[in-house]
Every structure is written in C-alpha cells, then in structure tokens.
Chains A and B, each alone.
Chain A
Amino acid sequence: QAQVVQSGAEVKKPGASLKLSCNVSGETFSDAYTHWVRQAPGQRLEWMGLINGGGDAPNYAPKFRGRVTMTTDSSTTTVYLDLSSLRSEDTAVYYCVKTRNYYDSFAMWGQGTVVTVSS
C-alpha cells in the first residue's frame, strides 16, 4: 500500500530557511511525481510545484521561483522542499502529494507539516 509520510512541525524565524521531507513508499519512486501544496490559515490551497522521482526538471509555481528548491533522494525514496527567506506569510500547513503522472488529480496526500514563522 502506497504511503506518503511527512516530517514534523517546524518553527522558524523570519529570514531563515526551511527544509521539509516527504517519504514516498509503495510504488516505483522514479516514475512518480511529488507535488507540494500549502495552506495558510483561512486561505485556499496553494500549489508550490512538483518534481519527479528522478529529480529531473522540477516545475515551480512562479510565486515561489527563486525561493524554493525541490530535490529527491532515490535511495531513501524521499522528496525535500527547501524554502528560503522565510516571512510570516509562509506560516502554513505544507502538504506533499504523490501522483503517478504529471497531470493526475491529487489522490494521495501526506499528513501535512505545520510551519510557523515568527520572531
């Protein structure tokens, strides 16, 4: 049974960087895609980008380009999200989502990671 398990909650100061992890198991890692979606308090879900298991050609939402990096480690079937220059508006629940194909709907969600950015 495929599973998506995310790392634990984080508290960061403004200006710091964030690194979240997402372990994807149960299916062929290299053929799958992992998306990152976040949800700030009271706000709509916001797609940040995606990467395939091979780590090739990530696609980032324009809003996050220059601040976000997504990487993969195929030996541990883990996907990472790096977000730099954090500000209070980055306080949100961050989800990773696994899809089999690039344009699939989002059937398999991680449990979410709460990130708080505060001085």
Chain B
Amino acid sequence: EIFLTQSPATLSVSPGERVTLSCRASQYVASAYFAWYQQKPGQAPRLLIYGASARASGVPDRFSGSGSETDFTLTISSLEPEDFAVYSCQQHESAPFTFGQGTKLEI
C-alpha cells in the first residue's frame, strides 16, 4: 500500500498570499495517477488537479500542481477567501487507492 504524507498539517495564511502544499509518497507514483482535492466543511471533495499538473474543469488558474515520482506540490498563487479549506492528495495508480491526511488552510 502506498502511504501519502502531507505537510504541513495546518497552514495559517492570509488572502493574497502564495502557498505551497506538499505531498510525499512512500513509493513511486506515476504522475498520471496523482491528484489533488479541495474539501470544505460538510461538502464532498472536489477534484482540483489530475495527472499531477492538469487543472480540472472550472478550477481557477491560481491553482497549479507539479512534481513527480514521490514528491508532489500544490501551489495557490494568490489566496482568495473561498480557498480556505482542506486539501488532500491521492494516488490512484495502485489499489488500494490512498489519500494523504490533508492540509488545512486557515486564516
């Protein structure tokens, strides 16, 4: 099973700031099978990034993903108020598909 570790667990930030979230895999993950999700309280997760770097439909271009092999990054170039949420990474290459523990962005 591939274990995903995200850092930091919580990040206190302000609107307008640039943030970088990290996700490290316990073993190699092909970029095509790596995704990032945003989740707000009481809502289902929303796909943000697939294939490590491609934005899902309707996702603003302030969100970008990068990385390969075992180290992946989600960057938000300039935080908007609606971006305060929990962000989770996922590998869907090797079953059981696994998620990171999430990074919470808070004001």
Contact = CB atoms under 8 A, between A and B. Distances in A.
Contacts of A104: 92
B100 A44 contact: yes
Interface stretch (B11-19, B44-52, B74-82): B44-52
A61 B97 CA distance: 8
Grouping DSSP codes into helix (H, G, I), strand (E, B) and loop, the A interface class, with mixed when no group exceeds half, is: loop
Contact of B99 (A46, A63, A107, A109): A46
A63 B33 CA distance: 22
A106 to B, nearest CB: 6
Interface residues of A, number: 21
A20 to B, nearest CB: 14
Contacts of A107: 47, 50, 56-57
Given A44-B99, A47-B99, A112 B47 contact: no
Contacts of A110: 44
Contact of A106 (B37, B57, B93, B100): B37
A104 B54 CA distance: 13
Contacts of A112: 44
A61 B95 contact: yes
Contacts of A47: 95-99
A66 interface: no
Interface in A104-119: 104-107, 109-112
